[in-house]
Amino acid sequence: MRHALCQDHEMLEGTSRGFELEGQSIFLVRRQNKVYAYRNRCPHLGINLEWQPDQFLDADACLIQCAMHGALFIIESGQCISGPCTGQSLTALPCDIENGDIWVQLPDDSESSAR
Ligand code: FES
């Protein structure tokens, strides 16, 4: 199912933001004016990534970072390049911008695919 999460102008360059949607935790990142959506679930232990609300990025805002053990992920692909889950990836969600809103597609069987 497709959901409007927020307005396009609310996501500033180099920032991230978390959302709860249908009982799932997801987050958005804007980099080089593109928006990426991922499930908020570290492939290492399956827990949320952020250390504070809406803080999903490293100090330079160049990579997504898991607060628990410091795994680093490429913003554009979700691939882990450092840390205990190197080589694994975050789960990307289809994301697009329409009429000034950011839309994310959640899989219909989101409960089973989250495991
Ligand atoms: S839980 Fe994310 S790096 Fe360990």
CA atoms of 80 and 92, how far apart (whole Å): 13
Q: Which two tokens stand for residue 18?
A: 């978390």
More confident residue, 5 or 110: 5
Of ligand 1's listed atoms, the one at least distance from the Cα of 66 is: 2
86 CA to middle of ligand 1, Å?
Answer: 10
Q: 2-107 belongs to which CATH class?
A: mainly beta
111 pLDDT above the threshold of 70 = no
Instruction: Give the chain's radius of gyration (CA, Å).
Output: 13
**pLDDT the model gives residue 51:** 86
50 CA to middle of ligand 1, Å?
Answer: 10
Angle at 53 between CA 52 and CA 57, to 5 degrees: 70
Q: Tell me the domain boundaries of the chain.
A: 2-107
CA atoms of 14 and 12, how far apart (whole Å): 6
Q: In this predicted model, what pLDDT tens digit does every residue of 18-41 receive, in sequence order?
A: 999 989 999 999 999 999 999 999
With beta carbons less than 8 A apart as the criterion, state whether 114 and 41 touch.
yes
The separation between CA 67 and the C-alpha centre of its own chain, rounded to angstroms, equals: 14
Give the SS3 label for residue 9.
Answer: helix
Provide the whole-model pTM: 0.92
Of ligand 1's listed atoms, the one at least distance from the Cα of 47 is: 1
How sure is the predictor about 109, in pLDDT bands with cuts at 50, 70 and 90?
low
Cβ 69 under 6 angstroms from ligand 1: yes
Cβ 67 under 6 angstroms from ligand 1: no
